[in-house]
Structures are given as structure tokens and as C-alpha cells.
Structure 1
Amino acid sequence: MSCGSRDSRLQRDDDSRQRKFLSYVFYQAVRDHKPVWMLEDMRTMETFYWEENISQRTYSPSEALLYAVVHDHQAYAQYLLSHYSEKALEMPGERICCCPSSAPHLAMAVRYDRRDIISLILQVAHRLPSLRSYMNRRGCFHLEDGKTPLHVACELLRSEAVLLLLGSGASPQAEDHKGMTPLDVILEQLGESKVNVLPKKLCLDHLLMFMPKVHFKMKSTLLADSNSWKKVLGEDTFNYLVGRSPAPLFLIAMHTILQQLPPSQFPQSLQELPIPTQFKSLLTPFKRCTNLDVV
């Protein structure tokens, strides 16, 4: 090997190590909640990119937003969503997900229970016509089995995220690649274990309030073992789900009321409704989200 080729290889190796180091520095800066101006200076430096064997380039707003979600850097998430909006919610690329029409940022925010950032993302989705169906996009077939963010919220029993997504227009009728709806996800968990029954039933209650027409895959499963499911769900809920009785009057009233609320103004609009205080109290964690409006 000639001295020139050896020196060239050593230089490439050194450049690669430097890019990886600088990439970690950016990640660490987001993790440590450094000021937004500092993060943007770092993000737009061409040396801050970790992949080997490619020309140096900057981190995209989409990639930076994923970091902000993971580390709950709300100020940085708000900045990225305010100044880049659509670009911030674009697919980060094949390194994160191979499906071009999923919603990894929203799903990630649900997974990490970043309710304030969920609210910010939904505000942008409602404001931009190109993102009106964003909250109903299905996840990667290979990594997420085609789950929507609402499926993920139900799977993780994030009852507050379930309510926020439903009120913001997420469809409880959406199916993943196995034909499972979010209601199926909750029923499956209720049938498998008696652990965390209260959050499971809270998610179930939220789903039913936003489902004037019940649709789910496990109806035959419930009917095949009706006695066990009556104990799990209660006889009234069981009979309603399998179609043996109509919805309770309270549920019918809630269907009517909730259908009148514009998804773009949820949950603020719900605070003004003449409904029981017990229901409004479920929204207490979202009150702080109203102060984080995206410009």
C-alpha cells in the first residue's frame, strides 16, 4: 500500500470518528436541554452528521424533532414545529422507518408519554391541509405492524394520550395490518391479564365515547366465552359490544356532544361543555398544553 493511499484511509477513518463524536455531542445537547439557538447552530453545522461513506450534511428538522421528543425538549420541539412545520414531520429516512407515510414523531411522543409535544404536533397537523390525516397514519409494517398512534396509546395504556388523540380526530375504527382496531387492543389486554385493570377500562371508556358505531375484530371471541367476558367488562358493556342491547343513555348523550366539538380545538373546547365535572377532571393534564400553541 502506498503512503498516499494509507494516509487517505487514515484521514477517512479520522473524519468518521469525528462525525460520530460530533453527532453524539448534538444528541447530548438535546438531552441536556441546551438553549434552542445553540441546538440550531449545532444542527446546521455540516460536520454534525453520523453516517459513514457519504458527503457531510446537516441534521434535518425531522431528525432533530425525534431527539426533542425522546428527551422531552419542549422548547426545541415547539421551535422546530413552528419554523419548519411540514419538514419537521417528514419521514426521517430509511434509517428510522422504511414506510413513507407513517407518523413516527407522533407515535414516538405517545411511546414516551410526551403529552405536551403530542399536543404541539396535533396543532400543526390541524393547521396544514397536507397533514389532516396525519394522526391516522399507520406505522411501519415491519416495526409497528401498521399500528396508528392511537393503537400505540392503547397498547401502552396511555389513557390521557388516548383521549387527546380521539378528541383531535384519530379514528377508533382504524385497523392495523392484522385487522385489529384500538378497541381490540384494549380488549385483548383485558382478556389476558388482571393487571392494570383501571387504566385499561379507562382507555376502553374513552374509545366507546368516540365510537357511535362499535367496530372491532374480537366480537366472536367475546360471544364464544360470554360468561368470562361479562365478568371482565360488566354485563351492560358486554351486551352493548356484542350488539345485544343499545348504548346506554349517557353514552348516547356523549356521542352527540363530542361529535359537535371541532377536533382542532380539543381539549380546550371540552372545558366549556355542560358535562359532569368528573369527566372534565380527566383533562386536567392537558390544561398546560394550551399554553404551548405553535405560532
Structure 2
Amino acid sequence: MPWSVRWVGGRGAQSQKQCKKSSFAFYQAVRDLLPAWLLEDMRTMEVFHWEDGGKVSAYSPSEALLYALVHDHQSYAQHLLTKFPQGALAVPSQSFSCCQSSAPHLAMAVRYNRVRILFRILKAIRDFPASDRAGHLDRQGCSRVEGGKTALHVACELVRPECLLLLLGHGASPCLHDSSGDTPLDTLLQQIAHTPAVNMRAKLLCLDCLFFFVPQDLQFPMKPQLLDNRQRWQDLLGENRFQCLVGLAPPSLFISAMRVLIRTISPEQFPEALDDLPLPHFLKPLDLKLES
């Protein structure tokens, strides 16, 4: 059984072999969705992993949360975020993340489409100091692995409407550029252009969500391309979206009103407060029965 693994002290090949066995046992236990209390017993008393340089380390709450994200272990993620809100979102060791500047949990939640765990992470971040909160929401991923993308860029790249709306509602900035100079809007437009026949409804839904949060005067690198290929982009986006996006027409009264209404919603009220807004059904992509 995985929880019977014990680490045997010492160094060298035997210690490294025992660490690998112990580490895999913990990974397997999270994958099998064992109870949170049992996983915590394993993490704090029984399992270790081997790091470069011969260092033997116990799993941190941050590293355990990464496993919970991969395997969608929602109860374990909730336990870690409740008991160790700062520690669970801290930078993991180099064995788990090549970039040591910030933690990858938000982007990983988006990449694996773990909407409920993402919501719990965002709830934990609400209570952080303002500077720490912004650092988590708007962190840029490793330039080598993630192309300097924020979690919001990843949500646009992978077309995750639920993740996108949660991030925007909790204060993620739609104006930041990745290492290529693209805003999240540029990333989404590239997805619309490359495979227009695939998942178009979800892509346009993401675009409509962005409309409510981006400033009207946002300058984005793809704007000249839209103007140079006007007919194509009008066909892809629809005339009203195109005209508004490139500044040839003001936003509709509906978009203007929604921008005002959404600014009145604090992160503490999001996303539950959306139920009280006059959103049409197609702009409510979330199953908002998310447990507090």
C-alpha cells in the first residue's frame, strides 16, 4: 500500500532509490484520491523526494497542491488552501518548477481546466496583501516553458471561458503583455484566426467576456492586422464586435452598462453576484454552484 512507505536515512544510491519509491507512492496516493487526512499524514511523516544536488526534502504544501491540481483532487486542494493559504501558493522547489520567481499554480489550474480548484485558489488569494495578490494574479510564467504568459493569457490560448471569467472577476489584468508583446486579447484573436471552424462559440464567448473588462482605449498589437484584413475579421467576429474592437464604433449600450455594473462587483462577491446581473444566458458560461 502506498502509505506504508518509509524513508530510510542515509545518502547515496540507496537513499535516492528509496526517495523515488516514496515519491511515487505519494503521487499515486493523490492520483487515487485518497482522503486528505491520509495524504497529509504521508506528506508530513512518510514521503520524501530527491532534489538535484543530493538534497532530500519532504513535500511542501505548494508541491502537494500541484499534485492535487494534476489529479483534480478537490478536497485535498481545499484542505491545503484552507490550512496553508500562503504556503500552498508559495514557490515550489526546483524539482517542480524551473522558474523560481513565482508560483505556477494559477496557470496550471487553467491549463488543466480545474475550474473548482481555481475558484478556491482565487478565494485564498483574496485575503493576501494587495501586492501579493497582484503578484499571484498577474505573474508571468517562465519564458522558456510558458512564453512569459500570465494565467489570463493561458485561458485565452486554451479557450477556457470559465477560467477566464473567474480570473477577470478577481482582478487579473487584461492589459499585460507576454514575452512576445501580446496581450490576452491578441492571444485570443490568434486562436480565432488559426482555427476558425473549431470551438468558435467558446472563442467568441471569451471575447465577449474580455469586452466587459478591457479598457476602451486598449492598444493591442493585432489591431493593424484587423484593419488590413477587414472583411475577413468581420466575417470571423461579426460586424458589431469588429467595429467596437478596432474603435470604428463605440461600444453598445449593453457593453457600456455591463462595464459599469461589473466594476461595482468586488472580488469577494465574484462570481456569485453575476446571478444578479442582467446577463443573457449565453454569457453565463460558469456553473456557478461553486461551494464556498
Q: Output the TM-score relative to the length of structure 1.
A: 0.89
1:95 equivalent in structure 2: 95
Query: Structure 1 segments of 4 or more deviating over 4 A?
Result: none
1:140 equivalent in structure 2: 142
Alignment counterpart, residue 228 of structure 1, candidates 229, 232, 249: 232
1:191 equivalent in structure 2: 193
Would you say the 8 A contact 1:270–1:280 is kept in 2? Answer: no
Query: Is the radius of gyration larger for structure 1 or structure 2?
Result: 1
Indicate the SS of the match to 1:210: coil
1:173 to partner: Cα distance: 0.9
**After superposition, where does 1:1-295 map in structure 2 within 5 Å?**
12-45=12-45, 47-51=47-51, 53-129=53-129, 131-133=132-134, 134-194=136-196, 195-213=198-216, 214-273=218-277, 275-276=278-279, 278=281, 281-283=284-286, 285-287=287-289, 289=290, 291=291, 293=292
Structure 1 distance, partners of 2:81, 2:105, is 11
Indicate the SS of the match to 2:91: coil
Would you say the 8 A contact 2:61–2:88 is kept in 1? Answer: yes
Instruction: Using CA pairs under 8 Å that are at least 6 residues apart, name the structure with larger relative contact order, 1 or 2.
Output: 1
Would you say the 8 A contact 1:103–1:149 is kept in 2? Answer: no
Would you say the 8 A contact 1:91–1:100 is kept in 2? Answer: yes
Would you say the 8 A contact 1:85–1:124 is kept in 2? Answer: yes
1:3 equivalent in structure 2: none
Residue type of the alignment partner of 1:162:
L
Indicate the SS of the match to 1:56: strand
Would you say the 8 A contact 2:153–2:183 is kept in 1? Answer: yes
Structure 1 pair 228–279 and aligned structure 2 pair: CA distance change class (3 A): closer
C-alpha RMSD over aligned residues = 1.9
Structure 2 distance, partners of 1:71, 1:126, is 24
Q: What 5-or-longer segments of structure 1 have no aligned partner?
A: 1-9
Aligned length, in residue pairs:
279
Structure 1 distance, partners of 2:17, 2:268, is 46
1:49 to partner: Cα distance: 1.6
Structure 1 distance, partners of 2:259, 2:275, is 16
1:206 to partner: Cα distance: 0.7
Q: Output the TM-score relative to the length of structure 2.
A: 0.90
Report the identity percentage.
49
Residue type of the alignment partner of 1:222:
L
1:50 to partner: Cα distance: 2.9
1:255 to partner: Cα distance: 0.6
Structure 2 distance, partners of 1:188, 1:95, is 33
Structure 1 pair 186–280 and aligned structure 2 pair: CA distance change class (3 A): closer
